[in-house]
Amino acid sequence: MLNLPLSKTKTHAAVPLRILNDAMTAPSHPASASPNAAPSAPLSSDQGAKAEASLLRAEGISKRFGERTVLDGVSFAVEPGQIVTLIGPNGAGKTTLVRIALGLIDADSGHIQRRPGLRLGYMPQALHIDPTLPLTVRRFLALAQRRAAASSDEKPEARETQTSIDDTLAQLKVSHLADAQIGGLSGGELQRVLLARALLRKPHLLVLDEPAQGVDIAGQAELYALIDSIADSQGCGVLMISHDLHLVMSSTDEVICLNHHVCCHGKPESVSTDPAYLSLFGAGATDSLAVYTHHHTHEHDIHGNVVGDVTAEDGDTESHSHEGCPH
């Protein structure tokens, strides 16, 4: 099995394809803790009304593995069109929280409320793929779409499936990868293909577990801008895990700083100066924030290469400038 490229600073177990498929067909009905868990207080009428308006709402989620407390009373919500980012150090419980939200594992206590009929699109941070498997990107996406159709009342024609795949690859600027073997993709290419797989479900909620894994700095900025554009154009909510606030500063609405419990939350600008955030990441963590909020006068391809200049509002082509740019 191939363990696809990961960050040099930390190691994660790649997600088997079976778990990825389970996440894409997670239950959309209201969910709560495991039947064997300690009972939780029922949702109040006010909490129930808020849950109905939200795509996803978590209330008081706690989880232990043996003697280790991974999550302790965590609550959050994702609204339509909103980008919510979970940040925190390694082992803070971010991925566990997302897997509970997706219905892949049970919480020990607390409630997860999903909007009825909610369609989920899930992008893991890595994926196990047998490098000897003769599987093209197009076939990989078609199989995923067929599985999604099998779990719904919609049965798209083969031509519609092909058109949808081509359109999604074009939107993510990877049309040229359609006939490439998926086992031979680079880290950045694979991330775009996994994002395409999630988008093919036309999700109401897009769940992204460290989507910039294996992507260089310039490519990361472009990928997060693309995710922001998708949320705007499709009106879907986004729940995203990131390791660093500065990478998602300009493309998130709400930041939740997690270290087994919610340390702080709010707009990126307020979280970056919160004492709890500074205690967790250090006072120097805010020094690099500004370089990610500048206006790009150029665009990058998926490898981080400059591919063109951006046209200014007055119709002139702006000059290519690297001042303040992280590359």
The tokens for 146 are: 């067929």
CA distance 64 to 102: 18
Q: Which residues pair with 3 in a beta bridge?
A: 128
CATH tag, 2-131+204-309: 3.40.50.300
What is residue 145's predicted lDDT score, i.e. its pLDDT? 82
165 backbone φψ class: left, alpha, beta (φ>0; ψ -120 to 50): alpha
Tens digits of residue pLDDT in 222-248? 888 889 999 988 889 999 998 777 778
CA distance 245 to 86: 9
Alpha helices in 117-259 (DSSP H): 137-150, 158-171, 187-199, 217-234, 245-248
Q: What is the pLDDT of residues 21-63, one digit of tens each?
A: 555 555 544 454 544 444 444 444 454 445 468 999 999 999 9
| Residue 29 near residue 114 (C-beta atoms within 8 A) | yes
**C-alpha separations of 291 from 100, 250, 327 in Å:** 34, 10, 10
Q: What b/e string do you get for 101-133 counting C-beta neighbours within 10 Å, with b at 16 or more? A: bbbeebbbbbbbbbbeebbbbbbbbbbbbeeee
- Provide the residue ranges of all domains of the chain, joining segments of one domain with +: 2-131+204-309
Whether residue 26 contacts residue 103, with contact meaning beta carbons closer than 8 Å, is answered with yes
126-150 tens-digit pLDDT: 788 887 889 999 999 999 887 666 5
Cβ-contact 172, 192 below 8 angstroms: yes
Give the residues of the chain that fall short of pLDDT 70. Answer: 1-52, 147-161, 283-327
- 73 CB-near residues (< 8 Å, 6+ apart): 60, 61, 62, 110, 261
Distance CA 50, CA 228 (A): 24
Angle CA 193–88–82, to nearest 5: 60
For residue 52, which phi and psi values (nearest 5 degrees)? Answer: -65, -35
Q: What is the pLDDT of residue 2?
A: 34
pLDDT of residue 6: 32
Q: How far apart are CA 102 and CA 91, in angstroms?
A: 19
- Dump the DSSP string for 54-79: SSEEEEEEEEEETTEEEEEEEEEEE-
